[in-house]
Amino acid sequence: MLCCSESPRAYDGGVTYRRYRRRELGMDGNASTDDGSEIIAALGAAIREHRTAAGLSQTRLAQLAGISRVYLNTVEAGNKCPTVVVLVHLARALGVEPATLLETQTLSTARH
């Protein structure tokens, strides 16, 4: 009996399938641009910039957004990508539109 990770067939949500599909679509390339880490880091920086401009501590922003301070810290550091729901809650707590946070990160990554 095979364990699910030993299955010779990949399923639609599996890593093997996604790699194959990316290659098929011509999206295979440099890992530094493919994995989204630059975008996540820029988004975290945008959140931090808006937070400091609003005069909020990480603890206070986390409370307003309904998330933990530790999670907010990892988002601002670019180590985690917030879900859309969390992004909306952060934007509301900062008094900005979610698109504002995304525009900021888009501008910084467009320079590369």
- The tens-digit pLDDT sequence of the chain (112 residues) is 444 444 455 444 554 555 555 566 555 554 444 568 888 999 999 999 999 999 999 999 999 999 999 999 999 999 999 999 999 999 999 999 999 998 854 444 455 4
Task: Tell me, yes or no, whether 73 and 21 share the same domain.
Answer: no
What CATH number does the domain containing 57 carry? Answer: 1.10.260.40
How many C-beta atoms lie closer than 10 Å to residue 13's C-beta? 7
Split into its structural domains, the chain has a count of 2
Q: What is the pLDDT of residue 75?
A: 96
Residue 18's domain comprises 7-31
Task: Tell me, yes or no, whether 15 and 61 share the same domain.
Answer: no
Task: Tell me, yes or no, whether 65 and 17 share the same domain.
Answer: no
Answer whether residue 25 is part of any domain: yes
Query: What gap in Å lies between CA 44 and CA 74, rounded to an integer?
Result: 8
- Residue (of 70, 106, 71, 105) closest to 86 by Cα position: 71
Answer whether residue 41 is part of any domain: yes
Task: Tell me, yes or no, whether 43 and 22 share the same domain.
Answer: no
